[in-house]
Copies of this chain bind each other. A is one copy, B any other.
């Protein structure tokens, strides 16, 4: 019952020409010598029959499947993750490619499976996205297709798309300074001594480097540096409450929005107002950043742009160097509340 797919041969027959001619015309070859009349007839026949090329057959012949693989350790968890996917998806769509999404949980066995599955389907390229990546991630298989690392790096694959964390770190400090804050600043989320020898991630190290450099250049030092491994709201809450027992900061620089969220709660409970008593700045532009009152001023991860850049890089023929994307500054009301800010 189900009608057979219409094939190139059907089109050719209807047009009264060979499949060779039909193929050449429909793929838009430039140097062909087929007549204008032939072109017209083939196009007419194709649209009349609703012809769509069979991608599997084409892939078999050309080794191009117009599809790419997006392999990541985690896909859910943060808004960051879906932003990356979303941007990549949009860019893939524009390039008329389709995207296979694969999740590995960071487990080597699943990583291998994922890469194999993608390669079996002759993808035109692979993106390795690191969502939580503490360290570099290396699936050790022969891959003869372009590879782009997204939000991570790899010794084997030089092309990567990264946020400019160093500059982002500097910007966070600069925002505080520009608001006239000149001391009594606390760093929430990291303490060099406590975490000596621990490796969190290359990205975070750069963020910290930017922060430290900017502070030093301004002749400032944090009055406290609070360490915790999981950057979740409850940690931010506990650390801030403990902090307030002994110190009265003028600003808290939080290493992500979730910590800032917890800090916000602790400050509110202590009857301190934001930003008048204590200013807050953080990173990521997580969903919750906009929910707070006042909204959190934050250095955003350019999720969608990164995903998009990865695909564009992957599909650009002779790409040789990766991309570093600026982290946009999202000003809300947690540093100062001038007119015009939410």
Chain A interface (Cβ within 8 Å of chain B)? 2-3, 52-57, 59-60, 65, 67, 75-77, 79, 81-83, 85-86, 89-90, 93, 96, 98-103, 110, 113, 116-122, 142, 144, 233, 237, 258, 261-262, 265, 268, 287-288, 291, 293, 304
Known: A56-B121, A75-B86. 20 other contacts (CB 8 A): A52-B119, A55-B121, A55-B122, A56-B56, A56-B122, A65-B121, A67-B100, A86-B103, A90-B103, A93-B102, A96-B117, A99-B101, A100-B100, A100-B101, A101-B101, A233-B291, A258-B291, A287-B287, A287-B288, A288-B288
Contacts of A59 in B (CB 8 A): 56
Q: Which of A53, A90, A121, A144 has the most CB of B within 10 A?
A: A121
Bound: A145/B77 CA distance, A: 32
Tell me if A103 and B81 are in contact (CB < 8 A). no
Tell me if A54 and B120 are in contact (CB < 8 A). yes
Bound: A120/B96 CA distance, A: 12
Report A187 CB to chain B, min CB distance, Å.
22
Contacts of A233 in B (CB 8 A): 291
Tell me if A52 and B116 are in contact (CB < 8 A). yes
For the complex of A and B, the 4 pairs showing the least CB-CB separation, nearest first, are A76-B82, A56-B59, A76-B86, A2-B144
Tell me if A85 and B56 are in contact (CB < 8 A). no
Among B65, B116, B118, B288, the residue within 8 A (CB) of A291 is B288
Bound: A118/B55 CA distance, A: 10
Which single residue of chain B is at the shortest CB-CB distance from A303? Answer: B76
Bound: A57/B2 CA distance, A: 22
Contacts of A268 in B (CB 8 A): 268
Which single residue of chain B is at the shortest CB-CB distance from A288? Answer: B288
8 A-B residue pairings within 8 Å (CB atoms)? A55-B121, A56-B56, A56-B122, A79-B79, A86-B103, A90-B103, A268-B268, A287-B287
Among B82, B85, B99, the residue within 8 A (CB) of A100 is B99
Report A79 CB to chain B, min CB distance, Å.
7
Report A110 CB to chain B, min CB distance, Å.
8
Contacts of A102 in B (CB 8 A): 89, 93, 98-99
Tell me if B60 and A56 are in contact (CB < 8 A). yes
Report A199 CB to chain B, min CB distance, Å.
27
Among B3, B81, B98, the residue within 8 A (CB) of A121 is B98
Tell me if A293 and B76 are in contact (CB < 8 A). no
Contacts of A144 in B (CB 8 A): 2-3
Tell me if B67 and A60 are in contact (CB < 8 A). no
Contacts of A119 in B (CB 8 A): 52
Contacts of A117 in B (CB 8 A): 96, 98
